[in-house]
Structures are given as C-alpha cells and as structure tokens.
Amino acid sequence: MTIKNLGKAIRDKEIDNVQLSPIMVEKLYKSRHYHPNLTNRTMIRIPWEASNYKGWGISYADVRNMNTRMNDFINIYGKKPNFVWVIPETPSPIKPSGEYLKAFENTFGQFTDVKSAIEKFRGMGYSFYTEAYEIANKINSIGNVLACYERAKNNTAHNCCDYTAMLVLLILEQIHYYGKEYEVKVLQIFCSGKDYSHLLFKVKGHEFGNDWVIIDPAAMASNKSGYCPQGKACWCAINGVNVKESDPKWFKNMYFNDFKKFI
C-alpha cells in the first residue's frame, strides 16, 4: 500500500467519539513529534496493542484538545480524570470542568442545565449595599466570585452584583468549557426615583431558545419580596426594563480577576 493510500485508509477509520484513558492521551500527544508537517487535520495513529482501535486515526486537533482538557482537569482537581472523551460531551447532570462550575456544585449540588441552576439561587436572601459602584472603582477592592460561593455555603445573602456575577460566570463556563450555544449580557437598569440602579442579566440559546430571557437573580433570591419568575425583571423595572447600560465596564472591573479569564 502506498503512503498516499495508507493515509486515506487511516482517515477512513478516524475515531468519531470514544473514551480514552489519560495514559492513551499522553501517548498520542507525545507521538505528535514523529509527524512531519503537522497540521490540525494530521491523523495520529493509535499505536498500542491493547486498544480495539489500533491503527485508527485521531486528528491532531482532537489530540491537542484532549491533552488540554486533561491538564485543565488535573490543575483543578489535583488528579487525572478516569477517562477523556475524544470530542467533549456534556454529561447529564453536568460535571463541572471549570472552577466556577466546581464552586457551584460544591455549594448547591449538581444541575442539568442553566435554568435549573438559576432556580437553586431562589430564597437565598438579599443583602443591599449602596457602595457597590464605589467599590468597583477602587483598584484594591475587586470582587471575588469564588469567595461569594464560599460565603453562600453559610447561607450568606449577597447583593445584585454578586448574584449576577455568580450566574453569568457560570454561563460563560458553559460556553467556554462545553461549547454550549448561550449568549449572556449583564444589564444595569434604572430604579425610578432612586439614587441607585439594579443589576440583572439576560440570556438566550440552548434551553432558553432564540429570544432573550431576563433573569433577575437578586429578586429571585430575596425571601422578603414576592415570587420572581425567570423571564421577568422584578425590581426597578417600570413599564419594562429601562436599561441604563449593557455589560457595564465598571461591573467587569469589579470582578476583574474573574472576567479576565473569559476575554
């Protein structure tokens, strides 16, 4: 068989999606050194005898991605995973791959989608403070979303900024770690007759569909106001949502060390 035909044979037997052990991933990634003119579509052949797929091919792009995801897991959990999918899959319920997903699971337990995750914030309580915007402008007073989750374990109530940041970062990890087709925007809205405004967000995609859905997490968390459903701005919304600013820069500066990971 010629080299050209051999390449075609390997491509015809490319693995679609299976679980590989960390040892297999390491072997595949190391074997890239033996492939001249390496490109993303270069097929790296499975070399070990113990596999049912000996001689089959995996594209270098998939090998590199497996190795990256495996090392991310090791950095977060301090151990190797039991297996690595060739193509990332979302199990149900979701097992987090990122630090915010891990923090959420440690605080609230597992969830199956973003809608169900949001519901876990209901009734947590609300803590108001007017100095949020001043804090956002102080270099040495940057917020910390992971610390918010730690406080939430003790049933500590948070304000609208913290609740919004906790959920928005959770959604961003769904996008970046699992490839979920969500879009999310933070909204700062006017509070009529007040000298302050309110933070919430809107999301669309995946289980939410193609239309933007308003989420008012602080109002949902409050145990002193009425029931706030998903899809409605329950606080500071007069005749709809009076948006002061979308994705305000001060908000991301307030949680700079968190949001910079998703730039």
Q: What pLDDT is recorded for position 188?
A: 93
Specify the DSSP class assigned to residue 46.
Answer: P
C-alpha span between 232 and 215 (Å, rounded): 6
Question: What's the CATH fold of domain 99-262?
Answer: C8orf32 fold (3.10.620)
Whether residue 203 contacts residue 212, with contact meaning beta carbons closer than 8 Å, is answered with yes
pTM of the model: 0.62
HSE-CB of 105 using CA atoms within 13 angstroms: 14
pLDDT at position 9 is 44
The residue among 41, 32, 34, 40 whose CA lies nearest residue 7 is: 41
Note the pLDDT of residue 142: 58
Four-CA torsion 95, 101, 103, 109, nearest 10 degrees: -50
pLDDT for 138: 52
Domain ranges of the chain: 3-85, 99-262
All residue ranges of the chain with pLDDT < 70 are 1-12, 48-51, 89-97, 129-142, 178, 263
Predicted local distance difference test score (pLDDT) of residue 8: 44
Write out pLDDT tens, residues 49-101.
556 777 788 889 999 988 988 888 888 778 888 888 888 765 444 444 588 98
Structure tokens at 119: 């519901």
Q: Among residues 173, 176, 143, which one has the least CA distance to residue 160?
A: 143
Give the C-alpha separation, 165 to 170, whole Å: 8
**Parallel, antiparallel or unpaired: strands 57-59 and 183-190:** unpaired
Which tokens is 33 given?
A: 């050194």
What pLDDT is recorded for position 80?
87
